[in-house]
Structures are given as structure tokens and as C-alpha cells.
Chains A and B, each alone.
Chain A
């Protein structure tokens, strides 16, 4: 669900100076981000701020945990009967005049969208944030065919100007400082040099986007929820850009992954309350627009994309990852994500959920992601739909080891350790030798020998005897 389907196992390459060449794996990419400690801390603070806002918003709802239970149950139910709900949705959407398309993979999705646009002679498209089109690589696909695609979400527009993918699914430009945006806008939009006032810069972007909205011949949006019993698609934005982008042009194309389906309109009450609070700490997004059929005289096309989702729905325990409503809360809470940035994951969806989804697309290319976690479990406790993210990461580790994707050196070292642990006398002997080494070898040599541990950390001063020796001395052998 990450790299474009045309190159399913290929590493994602991020332009914009973040990474060049194949994805080096999380540890290396993370170390590079952390090399600028001030920036890593700044990034960490920015996301922690959102996490705190989320905590406050969640605390306002006494029924928060109950809502999470409900959301989890609704999603589990919908996914268990997805085929039926998809058909129901198609029937109802069609009855309201929408046209439903089915795309097996990213390539087919891109082809369908391009064909719809080309048939109508469209060359200028405005888009409102959709991680799915990002996943499918739609922008480059359309641009290569001579179309202009403008992302209208402010953050998305910023990364688009920089020729970068989003670094976060809800806060796509969270890795960029406002001074850098000032420079970028000075360059692209002619704002005053050295300006960094967010209000001023936002105004400038607004003016620029207004022109794009007015000139657009089609509006593309993502979908947050599709409702089976009405056939409506719901799009949540804070800037109203989905509404702007679809109000003027005659053609609206809504692109969605199969898993966005909820059975009934009533279910939306659960998800809309959870989504905005989890994502940004707002009680509700500013705009939650329901599209039920095309506007008078216009066209509404809905593209339903599989791209690996139905395969995932058959895989325990990873099927639970399909419940994800893309709120980004797991990224904001993840202490690793906060300090290493979205690009360190090399996937469209980064962070804890991205580390679960990434390997489903190609375990080899994403083998380091399930290990890019301390398994602290904060992600699972934050997730509004209760995806057991850290347990899924652990399950992935097992699969990667079985598949031979884990580093051989580490695997062998742990195998040897397990062999030592398998017998109490081997364990006691090894312990004695290690403590002896700790005592006798010079500190510098120990630091080298202890490798990654000793680079920045000391080892504890060794005690003269182990507990088991001490216990035997004082208690005797029972």
C-alpha cells in the first residue's frame, strides 16, 4: 500500500535532498536526520504539541474509550463483509447518479483517472489531499501526460513546490520550518523576502490557490468515509479546499481505497468524532462534506482501489491494519517518528502504521521498518480504532526472520545467546567471563567491543559476583 504498483518492491526515492538513491533502511536514514539534533528536537516538539492537543480533545469526551471500541467493532464488521458492503455502496451511489469504477491496482487507478480527464479534454486539475493518489503515484502519471495537477491543501502545496512527497499523512509539511516556507514562497509566489509570518504566507497561498481553483477543469478528492447504505462519500478538510475544488469544475473524481467503507450513516457519528480529535485535537474538522451524487449538470466518478487491500484482508493479524482511518495519531505519539521524520521510513504512509503496511508491499525493501520501533505500545493506545500496532510489528519481525530478511549477524548472535541461555552452567560461565572482561579490559577497548552500545553509553561497573553465586554462597543449593 506504499510504493507505486508499477514498482511494487522498489524502494521509494524521495527527492528534495532528503534521500537520493535507494532507501538505505531506517537506521541509516534516521541517523542522518538526527545528525541535526536541533532539527530533530524541533520536529519532535512540533508533533508532541499535536499529541498534547489530541490528549486534551480526547479527555473532553467521557465516552472516548467506548467510542474506540465501537469504531473498532464497526470496522471489523465492515471488513468481514466487505464485498457485500461494496456492492451495496455501488448500488446506492449509482442510484444517485454517481459512476463507480473499480481499480485492481495503482496502475489501473491512474489509467481510469487519466482517461476520464482526457476524454473531457481536461488539462488543469485541482486536487484535495488524498494519500491514496500519493500511494498510486497519480501526480507524476498525469504530469507525464501533459496535465497540470495542483495540490490545494496548503501543506501539500508546499511539498509539491519542493518536489517532495508528504512526510506525514495529516501534516504533510511538518518537517519544514516557517522560515523555509517563507523562502519557498518568495521564490514561487513572489512574497516578500525574509517573510515568515504564517498568516501572511497563508494569505499569499490562498490568493495563488484561488486562481488555480478558478481555472480548474476538474476536481480530484480523496475520501475519508464511504457510506454503504446511502452511497455517499465523505471528505473531511480544514481548509474547505475539497469543496472549492469540486464546486466550480463540472467533473469531480473521488478516489478511495476499498477499506474506507462504513456500513451506515449512523456510523459516521463515531468516526467523525474520533478522526479530528485524534488527528489534530480539534472536536471536528472544519468541513465534513457529504457527496451524494453529482451536482446538477455535473459528473461524480468514484474510483474504488484495491491495490493489495483485499489480499491484506485475508492475512492474520495484519488485516486489522485495514481499519486505519489515517488520522496520523500513531505518528504523532511515536517517539521514533517524532525524532526521525517521515522520510526515514521510505514509504508513502510512514510511522507505526506505515511500518505495518510497508512490508505488505515488498518485505525486502521495507525489512527495517518493523524493527524501527521500541515496541513501546503508545501507538496502539492512541489509535482511535484500536489497531494493535506494536503487536503487528512484532508479528512482522517473525515473518521477516522466517523469510530471511533480518540481518544475518544479529540473527546468529541471538541464536548463540539463546544457546548459552539454554543451560544454566553455560549461562553462569558466560556471565563470569563477561564480568571479568568488564573489570579487566580498559574502558576504551570495552566501548569498541560493545559496539553500538558503547558508542554513546557506558557499561555498568561489573559486580564481583552474580546473584546466583551470591545466593548459593548464602543459601546453599536448595
Chain B
């Protein structure tokens, strides 16, 4: 039984605890012993992506110190995991645990699919669901083959979702276009960010999605914020909540 350290991104911890709970329960259901190291805070992505490497580096070091020594580190977030995997070598190049932690850190679906070898998730989710493929999961972690590349098609998140009982997955017309969140982009380029988000909501609505799900709560927070403001009927759920299924 692997011991999994749960990494809960800062804003998920504070604003979406139910997503962390769902992640924890899902991992336990698939045979993991899960712990939450309390010294964790934030992976440093907001600073790193704004170009503030000096501000991100101490957070990268804290992360590596906190998560060293576990079998695996799992997070319900594609972009935070991409941060650890791809940006930490530049931020904390000399940290003794860098390689160990990097190579053992996974996004939730990636972990279930690749490490635990899960192809079927027991559960029921009888709704029409649109999958939002967030960019960092898509193009940094390669959770799916991607519309730009000519490689054999695969989609790890979709594989897991489609195994749920009763779920009906629908595709937006532009299968993997960005929602416009982009971290601080959501504020500095507010106009474009919101237009992109509304366009995503429109395409999911056109496809008939009642629920939009994805691996990054940040993108979903942006979509949810737009949908709430306009009173759109769509519900936004993190993939961990969907995979946990609805109690029957």
C-alpha cells in the first residue's frame, strides 16, 4: 500500500476543501494510505509564472523539504504539478531532494491511470458532462494527445470519466482550447480572459453539458465565476468530485 502525500493547492485548501476531500477519499478507495503534510502552503506557481523567480524559489524549497520521503505526492491540479515537474529544476537546482520529489509527484488522474493502472472507476454520475482540458495538464503533463499534434489519440482523464456508470460525456467544438484563466493573466488581461472564458462556456453549453469538469480548479474557478455572474445553469465540478460519483 503506497503512502501518498496529498498536496492541496493553496486556493483549493482555502476555497474548495471539498475537492481535497474528494481527492483523499478517491485515493483511499483505490488502496492508498493518504497523509496531508501540514507544513505545505503553495507551490509558488503564481510568482514563477509572473517572472518572479526570486519570490518563487523559497516556496519551491519549502515544497521539496515538505514532500521528500513519501512514496508519491499527488495533487488535484495539473498546473501545480507541471510547476513542480518543469519549473523546480530552474528554481531549486541544488536541492538534494529535487529529483526524488519531482519524479514522484503526480496529478490525480495521471496517478490513478499511470501509477495505479486504474481504467475503471466504480461510481455513478448520471449527468451530461463536458470535460474542460486545462492547458497545463494537456500540454505540460500530456494527459491527452492534443489537437495540435499528430500522435496516436489518448486521453487519460476521459478514460477514467467514461468508466463511470450513467455518465454522458460531450465534447465542446474546440476540444482543448484554453479557458483564459492563465494565473495573473486573469487580472492583467481581464478583458481577453473573460471573453475566452465565456466562449468556453458557450461551447460547452452548445454541446449540451450540464456539468463542466476538469483537473484544474483554477480554470474551473474562472469558468464558475463567469457562469455565476451571468446566472448560467451549468454546474462546475472538479474531476475528483465527479470520479467519486454520487451516493446512490
Contacts and interface: CB of A to CB of B under 8 A. Distances in A.
B225 A460 contact: yes
Given A373-B185, A463-B18, A378 B40 contact: no
Interface string A355-372: 000000000000000111
A424 B20 contact: no
Given A376-B178, A424-B38, A475-B36, A452 B224 contact: no
Nearest to A40: B195
Given A336-B189, A424-B41, A61 B47 contact: no
A418 interface: yes
B187 interface: yes
Interface magnitude class on chain B = 35 or more
Interface string A464-478: 011110111001011
Interface string B1-38: 00000001010111111101100000000000001111
A340 B199 CA distance: 14
Contacts of A398: 51, 53
Label chain B's interface by main secondary structure: helix
A30 B191 contact: yes
B125 to A, nearest CB: 21
Given A65-B151, A452-B186, A452-B187, A478 B51 contact: no
B190 A452 contact: yes
Interface in B183-216: 183-197, 199
Interface size on A, as a range, is 35 or more
A335 B229 CA distance: 23
Interface in A244-275: none
Contact of B14 (A339, A381, A382, A466): A466
A145 B138 CA distance: 53
B245 interface: no
Given A410-B184, A468-B38, A477-B38, A30 B52 contact: no
B192 A414 contact: no
26 contacts: A27-B190, A30-B189, A34-B191, A41-B199, A58-B150, A59-B150, A64-B150, A374-B181, A376-B182, A396-B51, A399-B51, A406-B50, A406-B51, A411-B52, A418-B59, A427-B10, A434-B14, A435-B14, A452-B190, A453-B186, A463-B17, A466-B17, A467-B17, A467-B36, A468-B13, A468-B36
Name the 9 nearest CB pairs between A and B, nearest first. Answer: A374-B182, A397-B51, A457-B225, A377-B139, A376-B178, A381-B148, A467-B17, A376-B135, A431-B14
